[in-house]
Structure 1
């Protein structure tokens, strides 16, 4: 009898252990699925007054992840939850698809990185018509029904790029080629306006009008390794690489800088990079990259949430919220490195 009781007890304990294990396994898998589909923590939305969605083009971007952290922190102060949606290397959805999902879910507001994708302006107008305010971030859609834009002044940034180009121009009087990577095909996009302003500055300046040629390359979104292919062709063609290359995202910066190293162009091709990854800061400190553009991600996140919340609560909108920008150079790069260390320690 005792042996049968012991066997039964062991059997019950074994059953309980199996149940606990399966429960933990199911919970972990469920959490993984939620994270991969962009619905992580969505069940917590009910404790917040507002449900916002932030839609970006590249989920792997350090820049956009830093912006999102700032968005989440600011949203918590306004009783809002922010769900992040965007493309990664395995994503089959487009930005338009994510807009459709958000509109169907009847979210309270949308923060959108405008990419110039076909029909994206239509979706902005549809959301607005259904009472969902849209705030564009970094790249604007001024002819759409968006409520506000949070980002940079294209005219100002074009002027600043012009100033920086003048500082790193080769001393010789030879013709200088300046090339800029653009990432959307809309002629009135923020990036196109920046390019036009740089070109105007170079053409109208008496010291550069006859010796600088400003070119552009438009990089289509959606194809893996597109930037790497374009950069490789650029460095291998008969003309050779340009004297100065301006990058407008982190992927291009990494691809261009690696090509400068691989093709022994350090000192001959100057790179103006984007944001402040560890590799970029190291390159600027070493002098192998001329400089990198830094946009204040904390301001961008804060102003974006404030614009959405004010639109919902008060019906007020500010059509343009400008964030600070700065060029990271060899002279100030160490300060950015120290700030990154401080942030990691916190």
Structure 2
């Protein structure tokens, strides 16, 4: 019976995947991963578990590395992992839609970036009702029936960013923090609290958030550029997203303000590392994305095997600066 069930799951999963690719390019599976193998499904082999990894956006180097780590662990633990999610920032479909399809495919488990909103909590409740365990990645939904969260501590991230703020701007500086600002991202509020705690002993430091969710169109970009030009006490811009780091760095270059304002970035990309080399970005806080993917698979399999796993699994963070940049670019 177990073999028949696995074969049925496999057929359903392939059928849904094929329909989505042909009909709307909804899923993009077997994505090329930097320095990693892609998922290989052998139709003649019976795998122990079928897992869907739903990324925030699958064109992101970060999520490709999460997938790479998941693949490594999956191969050791007799799982096959498929990657799905919005194709890029221009893809307006939400991760909830991909979560719906993963549930319909009756996969054995789901690793998922989530929005902590009513729709997501309803989907996670449905998955639990159908006996499909879900591990949330990077952003959590604490009140949902997910089995585990794997990601960074928002408080510790804030403290780490605060420490880099002090090292960059000194004991008396003004920082503009570029956030998403969406109501469902409670993690950002925790991060800001951690940052303020890290700089609390320095009365001359002020932290001012600016959320992109409060603007439409090019409004956020214009607001950032206006702050750079009008706030002459501004010393540091702290960015929580790759696209916002790029916006800040490019704005500083175009406005000829790179000698006055520096950028501290959460998240890396080849372009951000190049800005770091040029001195426009002073520090980059990076998450061990491969470790996140590996620990997510391990937590899921532990739950499937034993019925329990750790509720909260923390992944490592590192600071990249001009001194150690060569190590991280290799």
| TM score, norm. by length of structure 2 | 0.81
**Corresponding residue to 2:179 among 160, 179, 182:** 182
CA RMSD of aligned residues (A): 2.9
Q: Distance in 2 between matches of 1:321 and 1:156?
A: 14
Q: CA deviation at 1:49?
A: 2.1
Q: CA deviation at 1:233?
A: 2.4
Aligned to 2:255: 263
Secondary structure of 1:245's counterpart equals: strand
The answer to whether 1:84 aligns with 2:83 is: yes
Matches of residues 126-137 of structure 1 in structure 2 within 5 Å?
A: 126-137=126-137
The answer to whether 1:69 aligns with 2:68 is: yes
Secondary structure of 1:37's counterpart equals: coil
Aligned to 1:316: 308
Aligned to 1:195: 192
Structure 1 stretch displaced more, 270-279 or 62-71? 270-279
**Corresponding residue to 1:216 among 196, 206, 209:** 209
Secondary structure of 2:41's counterpart equals: helix
> Kindly tell me: are residues 68 and 169 of structure 1, through their superposed partners in 2, closer, same or farther at Cα, counting changes over 3 Å?
same
Q: Distance in 2 between matches of 1:234 and 1:177?
A: 14
Aligned to 1:160: 160
The answer to whether 1:235 aligns with 2:225 is: yes
Q: Distance in 1 between matches of 2:42 and 2:266?
A: 34
Q: Distance in 2 between matches of 1:311 and 1:35?
A: 34
The answer to whether 1:125 aligns with 2:107 is: no
The answer to whether 1:301 aligns with 2:293 is: yes
Q: CA deviation at 1:38?
A: 1.7
Q: Distance in 1 between matches of 2:113 and 2:42?
A: 23
Q: Distance in 2 between matches of 1:191 and 1:141?
A: 13
Secondary structure of 2:207's counterpart equals: strand
Q: CA deviation at 1:92?
A: 4.6
Q: CA deviation at 1:56?
A: 1.8
Secondary structure of 1:60's counterpart equals: coil
> Kindly tell me: are residues 43 and 62 of structure 1, through their superposed partners in 2, closer, same or farther at Cα, counting changes over 3 Å?
closer
Q: Distance in 2 between matches of 1:278 and 1:336?
A: 10
Secondary structure of 1:191's counterpart equals: helix
Larger Rg: 1
Q: Is the 8 A contact 1:54 1:110 kept in 2?
A: yes
Structure 1 stretch displaced more, 188-197 or 322-331? 188-197
| TM score, norm. by length of structure 1 | 0.78
Structure 1 stretch displaced more, 97-106 or 187-196? 187-196
Q: CA deviation at 1:255?
A: 1.6
Q: Distance in 1 between matches of 2:170 and 2:122?
A: 46
> Kindly tell me: are residues 45 and 308 of structure 1, through their superposed partners in 2, closer, same or farther at Cα, counting changes over 3 Å?
farther
Q: Which runs of 5+ in 2 are unaligned?
A: 1-17, 31-38
Q: Distance in 2 between matches of 1:267 and 1:296?
A: 31
